[in-house]
Amino acid sequence: MYVVQIATGYVGDRPSIDTLAFYNLMTSLAGLATLVVPLVTSFPALAAVSAAFGLFVSANYALTTVILVELVGVDRLTDAVGIVSFAQGIANLVGPPLAGIAQELPCCSTSHQVISVWLY
């Protein structure tokens, strides 16, 4: 996992790469990887989808600080990290109950697709 984070940070740090666009692309691909999970029928395919998700979501850990510095500057970095951590905490607090509600919706046989669409 750490190797992929280092590689993602390296790619995102290249002058020719728009860091925010790269971050958005990787996050979108992670969302698409979760959409594929219900279609997987074998363990090797599930392992491949899980590895792809891990690769794509690693941009979140490697590039968040870099993007925050670009957006708010070094002087406000601690404030920005606090706000982002707060927002992630709220998402972690609210996400599981919403997943339970989506599981009980009569329109969907499984909540996985609904939550994947929310992530995407």
Whole-number percent of the chain with pLDDT over 90: 44
The per-residue pLDDT for range 75-120, each reduced to its tens digit, is 999 999 999 999 989 988 987 887 777 777 776 655 566 666 665 5
- Mean of pLDDT values over 20-31: 91
- Mean of pLDDT values over 47-56: 93
Q: Is 94 in contact with 86 (CB distance < 8 Å)? A: no
- CA dist., res. 89 & res. 16, Å (int): 33
CA dihedral 101, 102, 106, 111 (to 10 degrees): -140
- CA dist., res. 80 & res. 58, Å (int): 20
Stated pTM of the model: 0.77
- CA dist., res. 80 & res. 32, Å (int): 28
Q: Which residues of 58-72 are buried (b: 16+ CB within 10 A; e: fewer)?
A: bbeebbbeebbeeee
Query: Who contacts 99 (Cβ-Cβ below 8 Å, separation ≥6)?
Result: 111, 115
